Structure formats: C-alpha cells, structure tokens
Amino acid sequence: MNETMDNDNLTKLSGNKKKARGGKIIPALCNIAGTLILLAVIGLTLIVVLPRAFGMEAYNITSQSMTPEIPVGSIVYVYRIASEDIPSIQADEVIAYTGGTEGVIVHRVVSNHVVEGELITKGDYNEGNDILPVPYSNVIGRVWKHFPLLGDLMTVYTSTAGKINLFIFALSGALLNILAGRLRN
C-alpha cells in the first residue's frame, strides 16, 4: 500500500511540475511586454527631454524648404546661441529662427551681415534667398542634428491627447509587470 501512495504522490508532483512550467510562460510574457512598453515610453520622452538637459531645443520640420537635406517630419535639435555669438555664424550653417507668424523656421545661412546685424538665409529646396533678412534678435540657434520621422512622432505625443495616451500606455506597462508578479505567486 505504501508503494501505491508513493506512486500517487509522484504522479501528483510531476503533474505540478508540468503545471508550474506552463504557468511560468504567461508571467514571463507579461513581464517582457510590460518592460518593453515602459522602455518605449521612456525612449519617447527622452527624445524631447534629454536634449534640453544639454541646452538644446527640439523642433518638428513641417515644410519641404530644407529637403532633401532635412525631410518633412524630421526632428531637429537646435543649440541655443548667445546674442554675442551670432556674428560668428558662418555661411552654409543651418540655423533656427523665429519667423513672426510662421513660427520657428530652419534654413541655411547664405551670408552674415555683421554691420547690419542680420543674416541672409535660404531653404535648400527654394530657388532664391529668403525675401526678408533675419535680424540677430530672431535667431534661436544652430541646428546640431536631425532625425527623419521623429518630428511627426514628437508632435503626436506632445499634444494633450498624445500625453494622455502616453500615460495610459505607461500605466498598462506597469500593470502588466504587476500582473506578472501576481501570476508568479
């Protein structure tokens, strides 16, 4: 009779091991998915937040005036420049400046008229120079780097609806990790 009980106990134990093995897959998948979601949210926010820590601003390119160099939908990172350093801007540098009602404009410098305190600019796609010179007071800074497609993405998730969706996305990642912990127990 002891042998029968031992065999029954062994059968139950081996069945629990199989159950335990299969029961580890779902928590692991929840954990992986939750972690990937949280990493995606962190990565998306770093696209905008991290450059500010280094004194840069990020802007979305919405016109084709700088194509093919900087395509529409790109994100550009701009180093702010002090007003006393603007005379050092050279021809062929790409700068960002305020354009009145047009918002922020990113164009290439054609020439720097230091005496007049203005820059002559041109979009790479445009045939001629911009009609109005850019006063030094409108210059934001030099373009450091650009990345295609990330500008449109930045615009989406920096809107109010985008921030809400990003928060919900992060919350779902956290909840998946909590669920994984509960399923393991």
Residue 96 belongs to domain with CATH number? 2.10.109.10
Q: How confident is the model at residue 158 (pLDDT cuts 50, 70, 90)?
A: confident
In a domain, 86, yes or no: yes
Average pLDDT score over residue span 48-52: 86
More confident call, 174 vs 101: 174
Percent of the chain residues topping a pLDDT of 90? 67
pLDDT band with cut points at 50, 70 and 90 for residue 16: low
Give me the domain span that covers residue 68: 53-147
| 81, part of any domain | yes
Name the 3-class secondary structure at 142: strand
pLDDT at 152: 86
Cα separation of 74 and 135, whole Å? 25
DSSP codes of every residue in 56-115 = EEEEE--SGGGTTTS-TT-EEEEEE--GGGGGG--TT-EEEEE-GGG-EEEEEEEEEETT
Q: How many domains does the chain have?
A: 1
Under the banding of pLDDT at 50, 70 and 90, the label for residue 160 is very high
45 occurs within a structural domain: no
SS3 label, residue 132: coil
Q: What pLDDT is recorded for position 18?
A: 45
Q: Residue 28 domain-assigned? A: no
Between β-strands 134-135 and 75-80, what pairing exists: parallel, antiparallel or unpaired? unpaired
Is the pLDDT assigned to residue 17 strictly greater than 60?
A: no
Is residue 175 a part of any domain in this protein?
no
Q: Looking at the domain assignment, is residue 93 inside a domain?
A: yes
Per-residue pLDDT tens over the stretch 56-109: 999 999 999 999 999 999 999 999 999 999 999 999 999 999 987 888 999 999
Within-domain flag for 137? yes
What number is the average pLDDT over the span 131-147?
A: 95
Domain for residue 132, yes or no?
Answer: yes
